Structure 1
Amino acid sequence: MFYVKEQLNDAMEVSVEINDENVYCRCPKCGCEVQVDLAEVFADGDIDLFSTAVLCSSCTEKMMGGKHFGCEQV
Structure 2
Amino acid sequence: MRDALGRDPKTRTATFSGTFRVWVDATGRVTRAKGADGNATAVLNGLQLPSAPPTDMPMPIVMRISASKPSTASR
Give TM-score, length-normalised by structure 2.
0.23
**Rg bigger for which structure?**
1
Point out which structure has higher relative CO (alpha carbons under 8 A, 6+ apart): 2
Give TM-score, length-normalised by structure 1.
0.24
